[in-house]
Amino acid sequence: MSDSRQADMRTLGFLRARDPQTLAALVQDHARPLYRAARGMGFRDDEAEDLVQDVFATFLETLDRFEGRSQVRTWLFGIFHRKVFERRRESQREERHDPIDEVFESRFDANGKWVRPPADLHQILESKEIGRVIEECLNGLPTAQREVFVLREMECAGTEEICKILGISATNMSVLLHRARARLRECIESKGWGRK
């Protein structure tokens, strides 16, 4: 058993015994990453805090079902993922067809060469306004794509962890990330900052 897994199992023992210091340490370690992810998913600050509270409350209620097969962080983000979809009342199924695929394909000819190469976005990508632009563009992403983007690009989670959190295959994760990043790039370019 790895050191982090052993530490998680010790933490679980203390939490099951309702040890307040262990709960405080758990909140200290995971509240802000969960809060950032909630904001990344487009929840307002009060909604994000409420969502994080809900995640911890559910975690404590379901402690007995947690067998330590995944890390505490992965388990918490798994709860977070289910809460996000509950609140959005959306299906978790990624559509097989996504219009962004056609936009992406339209940039290449039959030989796979660029016919519409990427515009120069250096000015906007390095500007102070890029945060606001990304936030705006994130609102145009389907929830599943947005979640993969938030976990991977904003919370630096690895492929294996994201797949466990979302319950998807590595192939599905790649498709979601490809669509999310392609869509964001198109959105930023469409803001008129890009020059060919």
Partner 1 sequence: MIRCRELAELLTSDRLRDASLRVRVEARLHLWMCRHCARLARQMEQLRAAARKLAYSFGPTEAETPGEGLEERLMRKLSRKA
Point out which residues bind partner 1 (CB under 8 A): 18, 20, 23-24, 27-28, 31-32, 35-36, 39-40, 48-49, 52-53, 56-57, 60, 104-105, 107-108, 111-114, 117-118, 120-122, 125-126, 130-131, 134-135, 149-150, 152-156, 159, 174-175, 177-178, 181-182, 184-185, 188
The tokens for 184 are 């964001």
Of 112 and 192, the one with the shorter C-beta distance to partner 1 is 112
Nearest distance in Å: CB 1, partner 1: 27
Per-position DSSP letters for 83-128, written without gaps between them: HHHHHHT---PPPS--HHHHHHHTTB-TTS-BSSPPPB-HHHHTST
Nearest distance in Å: CB 71, partner 1: 18
What spatial distance separates the first Cα and last Cα of the chain, rounded to whole Å?
54
Nearest distance in Å: CB 60, partner 1: 7
The residue assigned the tokens 């995640």 is: 55
Amino acid identity of 139? N
Of 9 and 31, the one with the shorter C-beta distance to partner 1 is 31
Nearest distance in Å: CB 87, partner 1: 18
Are the CB atoms for 42 and 139 separated by under 8 Å? yes
